[in-house]
């Protein structure tokens, strides 16, 4: 791990999930904390070598790879933890993530893993949905609402730099994973439209390097969403059950699920597209013989 400067007081630590760092004197505000205790420990060790102390953590959203280091950092530093409303519930009670992936039922044990269920973390301050500014360590940080990937994801803005969580996915990652995980496709589209209209000096996403112009990558993300919708529409020329549709979409994208966690992430991502297409009245449901079928309207 290394601490890389963006500008002024703004740094980040490149990682599987990039860790944002805003420095005020010898104190640090972290943006997200990675997957687990081991990541939290590496963050603290790195910052201590730089003579820096963690005083606050802001989580962009409640997926396990973004808050899994919270508990360790809280225990070792006493840092105050901030999280958006709704997202804070899953940070405090990580059981919610595998539960909603498993249709709200008690999730099977295979879904009880660190990738879907981070270590429980306290949340000291819940960021309200209408809250636009956080005052921390004498700094004024702008809160940006970025829903869609998760229910109430946020970005953090300072000095014309935005830490933007998982609002977009880099092209090389899209090529690898093919179907990006989003919970609400229409809100995600709205967020991408907003982001494309901004002109920050730097955008720091969670899963790729900082960039200065997001227009091209946002267009690529739109293209992927459109292609998934088109794939579903083509497949539904004949009615299909939900399970059949998930299977056939994965087949079309040459995705081969090898474990339940992977399957239910793709299942939920495809269901988000089904929901959006249904809301737009492009597809509709019908129930026959106790099975739900989907068909083009």
Looking at the structure, tell me whether residues 103 and 29 fall in a common domain: yes
Report the pLDDT value the prediction gives residue 25, as an integer from 0 to 100.
Answer: 97
Q: How many domains does the chain have?
A: 2
Residues 28 and 156 reside in one and the same domain: yes
Domain boundary among 166, 188, 207: 166
For residue 99, the Cα-to-chain-centroid distance in whole angstroms is 17
Strand ranges in the chain using DSSP code E only, listed in sequence order:
4-7, 10-13, 19-24, 27-31, 53-58, 80-84, 125-127, 133-136, 139-145, 154-158, 161-163, 202-204, 240-241, 283-288, 291-296
In a domain, 26, yes or no: yes
Verify that 161 and 259 share a domain, yes or no.
Answer: no
pLDDT for 41 equals 98
Residues 11 and 82 in one domain: yes
pLDDT of residue 37: 97
Kindly state whether residue 132 falls inside one of the protein's structural domains: yes
Does the residue 180 lie in any domain? no
Q: Are residues 150 and 231 in the same domain?
A: no
Q: Are residues 125 and 24 in the same domain?
A: yes
pLDDT attached to residue 143: 98
Give the residue numbers spanning the domain of 267: 225-296
Angle at 92 between CA 57 and CA 62, to 5 degrees: 65
Same domain, yes or no: 112 and 230 = no
Three-class SS state of 80: strand
Half-sphere exposure of 205 (CA within 13 A, CB side): 19
Which residues of the chain are modeled with pLDDT < 50?
Answer: none
pLDDT in tens, 259-270: 999 999 999 999
The answer to whether residues 234 and 154 belong to one domain is no
Sign of CA dihedral 66, 67, 73, 74: positive
What is the reported pLDDT for 83? 98
Instruction: Examine residue 12 and state whether it is found in any structural domain, yes or no.
Output: yes
pLDDT the model gives residue 167: 97
For residue 260, what pLDDT is reported? 97
Q: Write the CATH number for 152.
A: 3.60.15.10
Torsion sign across C-alpha atoms 166, 171, 176, 177: positive
In a domain, 44, yes or no: yes
Quote the pLDDT of residue 269: 98
Same domain, residue pair 162 and 233:
no
What number of helices (H) and strands (E) belong to the chain? 10, 15
What pLDDT score does 141 carry?
A: 98
Q: Which CATH number belongs to the domain containing residue 235 in this structure? A: 1.10.10.10
pLDDT in tens, 60-92: 999 999 999 999 999 999 999 999 999 999 999
């Amino acid at each position: 791990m290394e601490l890389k400067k963006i500008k002024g007081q703004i740094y980040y630590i490149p990682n599987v999930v990039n860790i944002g760092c805003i420095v005020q004197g010898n104190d640090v505000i972290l943006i997200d904390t990675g997957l687990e205790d081991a990541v939290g420990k590496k963050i603290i060790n790195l910052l201590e070598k730089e003579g820096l102390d963690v005083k606050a953590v802001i989580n962009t959203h409640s997926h396990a790879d973004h808050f899994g280091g919270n508990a360790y950092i809280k225990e070792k530093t006493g840092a105050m933890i901030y999280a958006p409303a709704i997202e804070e519930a899953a940070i405090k009670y990580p059981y919610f993530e595998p539960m909603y992936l498993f249709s709200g039922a008690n999730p099977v044990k295979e879904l009880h893993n660190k990738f879907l269920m981070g270590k429980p973390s306290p949340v000291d301050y819940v960021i309200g949905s209408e809250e636009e500014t956080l005052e921390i360590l004498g700094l004024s940080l702008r809160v940006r609402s970025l829903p869609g990937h998760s229910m109430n994801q946020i970005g953090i803005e300072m000095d014309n730099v935005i830490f933007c969580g998982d609002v977009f996915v880099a092209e090389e990652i899209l090529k690898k994973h093919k179907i990006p995980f989003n919970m609400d496709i229409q809100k995600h589209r709205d967020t991408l439209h907003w982001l494309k209209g901004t002109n920050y000096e730097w955008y720091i996403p969670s899963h790729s390097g900082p960039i200065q112009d997001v227009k091209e990558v946002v267009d690529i993300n739109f293209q992927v969403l459109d292609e998934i919708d088109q794939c579903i529409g083509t497949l539904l020329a004949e009615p299909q059950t939900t399970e059949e549709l998930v299977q056939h979409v994965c087949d079309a994208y040459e995705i081969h699920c090898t474990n339940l966690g992977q399957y239910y992430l793709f299942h939920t991502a495809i269901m988000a597209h089904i929901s959006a297409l249904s809301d737009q009245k492009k597809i509709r449901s019908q129930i026959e013989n106790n099975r739900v079928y989907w068909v083009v309207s």
